[in-house]
Amino acid sequence: MSAVKKLSMVAIGATIWAGITNPVSAIMVSFGGTSVPGQGQFSSVPGAKTIDFESGAPTSGPVIYSAPGIGPTVVSGTIDSVFWTPSDDYTKYLTVAPFGDSRGNNNVSISFAEKIDYFGMYLGSFDSYNSIAFYQDNVLLKLLNGVNSSFNTYVNFFAEKNESFNKVVLASSAPAFETDNHAYRIAEPVPEPTTVLGTLAFGAVISRWRMQRKQQQKSLNSTIS
């Protein structure tokens, strides 16, 4: 990766953080994925599942994409002033735009049947009229506003430890917001308070047992001596 690209990624990250609103919950951002010739970039996060849009945007199952009217728009190639294919990506991808037809629809909601702690996607661009929102049960956790950048990269969004989200909304007030190879990871269950207390209590019992064993061993050694 060139120094220019590294600087661009740092600049994009700094601006994304500057565009965060409603900081109810922290969403950590990182950049970088695995490049596949002709298919763009994919997530490198262990345990992540990928949606590549080759069969369209799923409208049933564990992940549901929805949009008003005709629903989410999946396209390929480039149409000037309508949508632009991400760099080195000759496959199908999702486009979000305020046309309300086959050129692009807005907004696109991505709902997850289970809570997730990670979401990633290959960005064709992240312009000032693009935005990404993260929700937990319809409560807005984070809103990220775009920057005027045509830099193509894989972007990763992580929830903080013991936090999660179950809906992502992509929006664009102008043509267009192009992304591909979405990825997500199911969040690990957070222990219930009673479980945590039970674990602590069990640990305390084990500690007392070990202490008693040591005291018994000392008494036995003293008797033998």
Q: What is the pLDDT of residues 169-223, one digit of tens each?
A: 999 999 999 999 999 999 998 766 554 455 455 555 556 656 766 676 666 566 6
Beta bridge partners of 63: 112
Please name the residues in contact with 27: beta carbons below 8 A apart, sequence gap of 6 or more. 20, 134, 141, 142, 144, 157, 158, 159, 160, 165
Least-confidence region, from 10-19, 121-130, 166-175, 180-189: 10-19
If one compares 137 and 207, the residue with the highest pLDDT of the two is: 137
Per residue, the 3-state secondary structure of the chain, as one string, reads CCHHHHHHHHHHHHHHHHCCECCCCCEEEEECCEEECCEEEECCCCCCEEECCECECCCCCCEEEECCCCCCEEECCCECCCECCCCCECCCEEEECCCCECCEECCEEEEEEEEEEEEEEEECCCCCCEEEEEEECCEEEEEEECCCCCCCEEEEEEECCCCCEEEEEEEECCCCEEEEEEEEEECCCCCCHHHHHHHHHHHHHHHHHHHHHHHHHHHHHHHHC
5 has pLDDT over 90: no
| Structure token pair of residue 65 | 């994409």
Residue 2 has pLDDT above 60, yes or no: no
The mean per-residue pLDDT over the stretch 144-173 comes to: 92
Mean pLDDT across 111-133 = 96
- Token pair of 219 as six digits: 């008494």
Q: How does pLDDT run across 34-91, given as a tens digit for each residue?
A: 999 999 999 999 999 999 999 999 999 999 999 999 999 999 999 999 999 999 999 9
Inter-residue contact 183 to 154 (CB < 8 Å): no
Residue 205 has a pLDDT of 54
Q: For 2-6, 145-149, 200-204, which range has the lowest pLDDT when averaged over its residues?
A: 2-6
The class level of CATH for 3-186 reads mainly beta
- Separation CA 148–CA 156 (nearest Å): 19
The ranges assigned to domains in the chain are 3-186, 193-225
**Which pLDDT belongs to residue 12?**
52
